[in-house]
Structure 1
Amino acid sequence: MSETLERRAGRPAKNVLNRELILATAITVLNRTGPEDFTMAALAKELGVKTPALYHHVGGKNDILAGMRQFVTAGIDYEVFKSLPWDEATIAWARSYRAAFAAHPYAISLLATVPVTGAHPTLVMYEEVSQGFRAAGWPEGKIVSAIVALENFILGSALDAVAPPDMMDPGDFAGEVPGYTQALRAGESTEPRMSRADQAFELGLAALVAGLAGLK
């Protein structure tokens, strides 16, 4: 589905309005305008139709958000929990999760507070991840909390991945914060082939998975 959506994303000239086209255009509008300006009216304008025309193909904004969630999360690899040990599967899942949302960072704030009810593919992912945790010996009462803890870290890391490269640079104040500046430069030279954001993500992910492993 994602390849088709990407091919058809954009302003349609004479396309027949349908659900797939609406969702593809919704992604385009979100990526361009951000969540604050993402409205049904803005989507209809992009499609060249009146807002009521959308409701012949979608159930409303929540339905569109569910479809957008499916598009954004399509690249998340949760099947790894069927074949890899828990820690390796969790790391692989987290990396693909971060990459999926880093490609559409505006979706994070838009979808973070929308219940997953009705988002069937997302629920399927949670089912597979939960089963992977369960098979690894996790107590039932800690599984969802552990998943949410990982998601909180992953989504924050996805935003960091698209932040400016000089996000942490002290600039003209480097002389006033020598300890921090020295640590920053040391980190840059330790893994020169990795971005600062990637280094932070890998370090944090390793620490988080190791810490969670001790809670099983």
Structure 2
Amino acid sequence: MPASTSAPADPHRQDAKPRRRAGRPAAAVLDQDGITAAALQLIGKSGYDGFTMAALARTLNVAPSALYNHVSSKRDVLVLVQDHLTSFVDVSAFDAEPWDRAVRSWAWSYRDVFSKHTPLIPVIAVLPVTDAPKTLAMYEAVSAGFSRAGFPQERIVSAIVALESFIFGSAYDVTAPADIFDSGSMAASTPNFTAAVARLADQGYENQADVAFELGLDALVSGLGALRA
């Protein structure tokens, strides 16, 4: 018998598969959330020095030119990353708690967020906040809390910077090795420091980074509190 020939597909049948339209897909392959996630992944793996637009494009498996449909520069990507991380910093206490408690709550949250992304700290710490909506929203909430607490307006930004300097440094401390202060063979020539390190270890603190952060934060809050009207 001759081989049967299949009839052409009836386009009106319900089970007929629609043909894919030629040209670009209806949905964008990239979006800002995807670019942000890829940038965080890349920086976490290769550090900031390994973060280039070409490397980011490879991470996303796209041509570098495709990135520029969504961001105009490397700085734009960093602003996205900055905004993404800052959105996790909790500022809600400034609406409900006394000033000193609100500052502590914000500072702990801030430190915990950036302790997971220390390669970005040198960049974020000096990145302008221009056109960064979530970052500016955080600063607005904190500034409003300081203002309500009676801080002179000309001191508010300096107070925030002082706290941030401590917070960023403390974020690094979270990831420091447990033996960072071991004086090794120099113990005999550094008796005061070595004894202080040993005494701290004797306290049995579960997390010495938290102890140091709490001590420094208490000192900063007490000192800054004296500036209130």
Aligned residue number for residue 142 of structure 2? 129
Contiguous gaps of at least 5 residues in structure 2:
1-27
- Residue 201 of structure 1 corresponds to 213
Moved over 6 A (4+): none
- Structure 1 residue 176, shift from structure 2 partner: 2.1
The structure with more helix, counted as a fraction of residues: 1
- Is this contact kept in 1: 2:87–2:135, CA < 8 A? no
* Aligned partner of residue 30 in structure 2, secondary structure: coil
Per-residue CA deviations over 1:58-116 (Å, capped at 9, x if unaligned) read 23212211110122222211111000000010011000000010011111012222100
> Structure 1 stretch 170-179 or stretch 120-129: which is displaced more?
170-179
TM-score, normalising length: structure 2: 0.84
One-letter amino acid of the structure 2 residue matched with residue 113 of structure 1: V
User: Is 1:34 matched with 2:47?
Assistant: yes
Answer whether contact 2:115 2:172 (CA < 8 A) is retained.
yes
User: C-alpha distance in 2, partners of 1:106/1:144?
Assistant: 25
SS, match of residue 181 in structure 2: coil
Tell me, yes or no, if structure 1 residue 185 matches structure 2 residue 192. Answer: no
Structure 1 partner of 2:16: none
Which residue among 196, 209, 226 is the counterpart of 1:214? Answer: 226
Equivalent residue of 2:87, what SS? helix
Structure 1 portions without partners, runs of 5+: 1-14
Alignment of 1:1-216 (within 5 A): 16-190=29-203, 192-216=204-228
Q: Note the aligned Cα RMSD (angstroms).
A: 1.4
Q: Give the total of aligned pairs.
A: 201
1:80 is matched by which residue type in structure 2?
Answer: A
- CA distance, structure 2, for counterparts of residue 146 and residue 88 of structure 1: 16
Please state how far the C-alpha of 1:117 moved relative to its aligned partner.
0.3
How far did 1:185 drift? 1.3
Match of 2:15 in 1: none
State the 1:21 CA deviation: 1.2
- Provide TM-score, normalisation by structure 1: 0.89
Q: Give the superposition deviation at 1:17.
A: 2.4
